Structures are given as structure tokens and as C-alpha cells.
Chain A
Amino acid sequence: MTNKEERDNHRPSINPVLAHLEAIATGIKWLTRKPMTLMYPDMEEKKPEYFRGFIIFNYNKCIGCSLCAQICPPRAIHMYRVPGDKRIRPGYDAGRCIHCGLCTDICPTDALDVSPVHDEVFEQIGSMDFDPVEWHIISKKLVEEHAKRKRKLVITRVDEEVGLRYEPVE
């Protein structure tokens, strides 16, 4: 923290020529360093633990308590009647979801969980709205596909020199 005297004369007058040169020199110094850009489609970041992406649903663990539908802030989860099932089950509108993860926190049986899948593309709006059975199937499919991705996987680390660096993961 700066102390009081420093603050009182915190704005020293500058020499226009030297200050220009100093700014240019600083720019050149940073020009030679590695950029902190993540080359996204070619590289993929390994997300931190409990990263809140697509919500995955396990139909077999669900007890149909409907707490997830009650807590969902944008009402992305609705309860459905499934033929041949006495209980109501949650369906999911991925287009409405804000990935707050509150449904996974309140689920009393871990039927809902967060996943690192955050960049799945759906071509039509209608295809983002899942009923309980579809949600169970797409969750399984997305997690399996995510594990099999062939992109270069990197992990983000804070670096003292350039800010962020990306280390390859085996």
C-alpha cells in the first residue's frame, strides 16, 4: 500500500520526450513475451473441479422430489409425467439454463450433477428442451463424448512473467 507522503505528490511532472520513449520501450518489452491467449478450438482448457457446465441427470437416482424445479432461478427445470412411472421427473431446457448449479446443490440424492461440458452446440432451439428420459440419455452421451475429445487438453496456471500459461495434460 502506498503511504501518505507518496500519495500527496503522486503525480510527478513528466518529461514528454523521455516518457514517450519509456512507453515505447515498455511496449517493446511486452512484444517479446509469450501471449496469454488460449488457442481455443485447437486447445481445450481442463476446467477446475466442480466447474459449472451442462447439468447432467441420472434418472435412476432421482426420487422425484421436485426441489430442483422449485429452486431453479430461470425456471429451466420443469417436472414431467413419464408414461409408466408413478412419480414426476425433471426435464431440462438448456436454452434457459444459467448454470448457477443451485439444482445440483439442493438435490438430495446426487441425481443432478455439474459437468465440465460447456460448449455443446445445438442446431435448433427446439432440440435444447429435454424431457426426463431425453435428459438422461443426452447427459450420458455428452459426458462420454467429452472424455473422448481429441483436442489438446491444457491446464491453466497463473504465471509470474506473462499472467497465464497453459500446461499440456497427459
Chain B
Amino acid sequence: MIGRELGQRDGYRVVELYIGPQHPASGHMRLVVYLDGDIIVRVDPDIGYVHRTMEKLSEIREYVRVISLIERMTIIDSCNITLPFVEAVEKLLGIEAPPRAKYLRTILCEINRISSHLYGLGIGGIFLNHSTMFMWGFGDREVFVHLASLLTGARLTHTYNIFGGVRRDLPQGFKDEFLKAKRYMLRKLKDYDKMFFNNPVIRGRLENVGVLPKDKAIAYGITGPNLRASGVRYDARLLGYAAYSELDFEPVVGKYGDGLERVWVRLREIEMSLDLIEQALKQLPDGPIFHERYAKMVPPAMKKWFEKGRVKLPGGYVRLRPRKGEIFSRGEMGHGEVTYYLVSDGGMMPYRLRIVTPSARNAIMFSILPPGNTLMDLPAIYGSMDYFPPEADR
């Protein structure tokens, strides 16, 4: 942290304080904080330190190669971020994934959402010096990373959704492993409440800190759990993409809009996701996991892999040519709503791919929440927001 005195403002001395970009609590971004004594008068978030030109890079890659590029925006939530893109391209190709593939996508999306929330809670815990929450969050996340690796064969960068379906079928014994994980997690969430949510120290640090009223949350376009914590019932999953239209769920909506409420929404959304996965596993239909237009183009000698639950791609899959057109699609990630605007000129690569990620929309919260609070509250507000810099910078 570097500070310098700015001079007088309304008779008070104002100090300019730089937090980041190397600061452990604000890694990958910088906060320029203006202080009057201990009270924050203004915060300028300075983002863009991990900008990797994802939109431009996707214009020089074939569609199938874009999938594994864009999942690197949010490596902890890689199924949720690729799904809207894959569905958009599927619409332009004029195909729809088989029902079983849609359910499998939903299952992986919810597993990703749980691990993303646990990651956010763990980081939020260590911002408040609550090391136990950090250890628990990252430890329990490992259970869901293990489930994802059983399903897809990779721990984080799954590349699971492809145009026309998914790459792997549900492995044997997955359901039992998941039910065990569900029982473990539901029991552990009660301990989370005792250790973190109802802990007087955490209550003191987060209650009535960084309050985001409902009208402000809507006006600034905040998204995801942060929006729902302010009492707005909005969840992109209600639009019913993948298999969400066939599952029964009600988004978790908070009331108070403060830091503690944002933590509460994440904790309850973990419960909801566990419930959704169980429903999806129960209703999982039989059938193919890959669209037959491509499945029948696979060489006959490779058809054996489909019976073993693994998809083989046909040779023409690299040179997919979606029809000319523009398409908009959205999906709910762990951090909020991601939107894609895809322009296709009928070629092998996207003409333009505009991505708006939830963290980019939530970055404005750094400017509107801290003023009026003390400097001590800044890490608490940051931790409760679940902000992910590589995703915001793309």
C-alpha cells in the first residue's frame, strides 16, 4: 500500500491510498482509495491487469477451439461459462443437444456452481482473517472438483460441452458418490453456519457493512448472488436453458443487501444446487449424448467408443460453418449472469464474439459500496462480493 496526502477537501485532509495490484488481498487489480481520516470518501477500481483479449483471440479460432479458450476466463466455473456460447452456436447450426446431454450439462453446471461458491466463501473468509473458513471452503471444494473429474476426466478445465452434446457419459458409481457428497455437504453447511455465519466476529465485520439497496442494485446492473441478496428475484436459470426448465427450483432471494446477506445467499445456493443435482440425476433420461448428425459421420471403427460412454468427433467437426446471423445468449454462473453476443458471417470462425462477464458488471460495486465505511471494512466488502479479476478483465 502506498499513500500520499492529496490536500484539503472541505477543511479535512484527504489521503490517497493505492491498494494493489500486488497486494495479496486485491491481486490482479488495484483500488485507489481516498480517505478522510479513517473514512473512505471515494474508491476508484483500476481493473485490466489480466486482460487477455479473449474476444479478439476468439475471432481467429475455429468454433470448437473457442470453447477451451473462453473457459479460461473463469477457470473455477468452466462449465457455466462455456454453456451459453455452446448453446448459441448450436442454435446457429440448427441443432439441439439430446435430452440426456442437457441433463449432464446441468449436473456439471451445478457442481461448478458449488465449487465456485465455496471458493468465494473461502477467499471471503481469509479476507477477514478467518483461516478456518478458508481451509474448509477449499477443502470441501475438493470434494466437488473430484466429482467433476469423475464425470469429465479433468479437474478444472473440463471442455465438457461441445456442439451437439457432451463429451462423456455419466460414469458408473457417480450417483452413489454424489449422494454421499450431498449428505456430507448438508451436514457441513450446518457447521458453516456455526463457524462462519453465526460467528459473532463475522457478524460484527459483515452485518450492515456495504449495504446495497434494491433500487441501486437494479440501477447499476449488479448481477448474480449480489443482486439476489438485495431482494431482487432474478436468476438467468429461470429462463430454462439446458434442463433447468424441467427441474423444480426457486432462486434464493435475500432481503437486507449487506455483506452478511451476500454470504447467506451463497450458503443457501449451495443447498439449492445439491438439490438440483439430485433431481437431475433422478430424472436423467436414457439415450444418446451426442447429436446424431455428427455421430453418424464418425468412422465405423470408432463407433465402439460411444458404447463405452465416450464421444468421438467426426473429421468435419473442425470446419463447422454456422449459418450467417447474430445471436444473443445468457446463462447463470456462480458469480452472476454471463451474456454472449455472437455474430457469424457464415465462416469457420466467429466474426465477432462479445462477452459480458458477471464480475465485469459487479466491479462497479467497488465504487458504490465502500464510501462512508471505514478502511477496515474494505476487505470485508471485497470478500463478500466474490469478485474474480481474471473473469472481469477477460
Contacts and interface: CB of A to CB of B under 8 A. Distances in A.
Nearest to A13: B203
B80 interface: no
A49 B272 CA distance: 29
A11 B208 CA distance: 12
A71 B317 contact: yes
B275 A158 contact: no
Contacts of A29: 191
B154 interface: yes
Contacts of B317: 71, 106
Q: Is the interface of B mostly helix, strand, loop or mixed?
A: helix
Interface residues of A, number: 50
A15 to B, nearest CB: 9
B356 to A, nearest CB: 23
Contact of B271 (A1, A65, A161, A164): A1
A23 B194 contact: yes
Contacts of A110: 302
B154 A99 contact: yes
Contact of B272 (A1, A67, A73): A1
Interface in A67-121: 67, 70-73, 98-102, 105-106, 108-110, 114
A138 B161 CA distance: 31
Contacts of B255: 7-8
B32 interface: no
A22 B194 contact: yes
Contacts of A105: 167, 310-313
A105 B143 CA distance: 27
A23 B271 CA distance: 21
Given A23-B199, A98-B157, A164-B146, 19 more contacts: A1-B250, A1-B275, A7-B255, A14-B203, A23-B200, A49-B153, A50-B310, A51-B149, A52-B153, A73-B69, A99-B157, A100-B154, A102-B64, A105-B310, A105-B313, A108-B299, A109-B301, A158-B146, A163-B184
Interface of A: 1-2, 7-8, 10-11, 14, 16, 19-20, 22-23, 25-27, 29-30, 36, 47-52, 65, 67, 70-73, 98-102, 105-106, 108-110, 114, 156-164
24 contacts: A1-B272, A10-B268, A19-B199, A22-B198, A23-B194, A23-B199, A27-B132, A48-B149, A50-B310, A51-B149, A70-B62, A71-B62, A71-B313, A73-B61, A73-B65, A106-B312, A106-B314, A108-B315, A109-B301, A158-B177, A158-B180, A158-B181, A160-B183, A161-B184
